[in-house]
Amino acid sequence: MAKVAEKEKVQMVDIFIMDKHYQVPEGLTIQAALEYCGYNLIRSVGCRSGFCGACATIYCFKNDPQLRYALACQKAVEPDMYLTQIPFFPTAEALYNVEDLEPKEGENKLVELYPIILTCFGCNNCTKSCPQDLEVMEFMSAAIRGDYEKVYEKSFDCLMCGLCAARCPQGLQPYVMAMAGRRLRGAYLAPKSQHNLDRVKEIEEGRFDAEMEKLKQMPTDELREL
């Protein structure tokens, strides 16, 4: 470790992984810092670019016990950081068929599937814990009101890392509920695109088959000309 630091004259930062002290070069992401300390990661690592939610991390500082939240692959280490990786979250998913999700007037499908969301008392811990900075409590309220469009809009950038569920005092799983909300919206409430349905039918009827056969047989020189 020291060897690398000397060569590059990199400033070293003190961090604590599961309460154990390490020094790492300034500027590394939390994930890279773990590897720099010698961890060969199996859990808490995925796309390494902020899309999969596998590396959800809770951290605080030596003299500041306030919990903070991040994706380990996206957050650079800071002096005196105390790190805890959250490798796994059991999900308690409601049972549904997407075919049966079609919402009917006067029904709230999401409350039907997840009646427990009615116990939300608005502490806003979910929003505070979201590493994507989503307004989680807002889409929970939207679900309670049956506003599917808002659930879709407000939860769309969710990586399903599970930190909101980790911090909910009522044991709600906002990210799981929102998944059902988005699927319902995509399958039923989004307007149908007729041009796509028409094209699927045309292809099934074999409208393009002759043209495709011709192209498939065509020598490369002729293809280039087209």
Q: Which is nearer to another protein, 93 or 169 (CB)?
A: 93
Between 100 and 122, CB nearer to another protein: 100
DSSP letter string, 106-153? T--HHHHH-GGGGG-----HHHHH-TT---HHHHHHHHHHT-HHHHHH
For another protein, the closer of residues 92 and 118 by Cβ is 92
Which tokens go with 31? 């994930």
Nearer to another protein, 79 or 186 (CB): 186
Q: What residue type is 210 in one-letter code?
A: A
Instruction: Give the 3-state secondary structure percentages of the chain, helix then strand then coil, rounded to 5.
Output: 45, 15, 40
Min CB(169)–another protein separation in Å: 26
CB 180 within 8 A of CB 139: no
User: What's the min distance (Å) between Cβ of 202 and another protein?
Assistant: 9
Q: Provide the minimum distance between the beta carbon of 106 and another protein in the complex, in angstroms, as a whole number.
A: 22
d(CA 130, CA 133): 5
Q: How far is the CB of 58 from another protein (least distance, A)?
A: 17
41: closest CA among 85, 75, 99? 85
Least separation in angstroms between CB 47 and another protein: 5
- DSSP letter at 51 equals S
Q: Which is nearer to another protein, 18 or 42 (CB)?
A: 42
For 29, phi and psi rounded to 5 degrees?
-70, 165
Helix pair 148-155, 136-145: axis angle to 10 deg: 170
Least separation in angstroms between CB 125 and another protein: 21
Match 């902020």 to its residue by tokens: 50
Of 65 and 224, which CB lies nearer to another protein in the complex structure?
224
| Type of residue found at 6 | E
